[in-house]
Structures are given as structure tokens and as C-alpha cells.
Amino acid sequence: MAICPTFVLLETDPPKYNAVYQKLIKIMLTYSDKIKMKSINEGIIDFHGMEHILNGRTLEDIGYEIKQRVKTEICDWMKINVGIGTNRF
């Protein structure tokens, strides 16, 4: 506090984290049932065989759609990054 007197310390809220986690999983599952959560805030969607979900849209379009859905369905202050690759690495 001597270095940064305006520092605000907040308590953690595990139930809130879990609620957001469940909402994120729900969004991801609308694109594929092949999802893998690597942590509470990192997940992978496998789009192989999901052409019917893509419906002619690019993965880039889907990525922007997911970002917008997180903003509107979870909260507008939550920002996410979406990466697109041939594998999970």
C-alpha cells in the first residue's frame, strides 16, 4: 500500500467464476460437441465435421460471432481472444 495507496484489493468470488465458466461452455457447445476446456478461462472448439454449423461461414466469422456472444450473453466488460489454427497448439 505504501507503493500504491490507491490499490484496491478485491476478494475472489468462486461461484461467480463458475457461473461465467458454465455460460462460456454453453456458448461453445452451440458450435460443436467436441470442446475441451484447458482451464477455467481457456477452451478449444473442434470444428472438424461441423460444416452444417459453419453454414458457409468462415472460421473468422465464427470467431467474431463468439466474441460478440460472450459480450452480449455473459457481460460487456469481458473480453476474449479467439485463435484459429489447424490444431489446438
More confident call, 89 vs 18: 18
User: Model pTM?
Assistant: 0.82
Mean pLDDT of the 13-21 span = 92
pLDDT of residue 58: 94
pLDDT in tens, 40-80: 889 999 999 888 888 899 999 999 999 999 999 998 888 89
State the pLDDT confidence band at 27, using cuts at 50, 70 and 90.
very high
pLDDT of residue 76: 85
pLDDT of residue 79: 86
Q: Counting Cβ atoms within 10 Å, is residue 24 exposed (0-12), middle (13-18) or buried (19+)?
A: buried
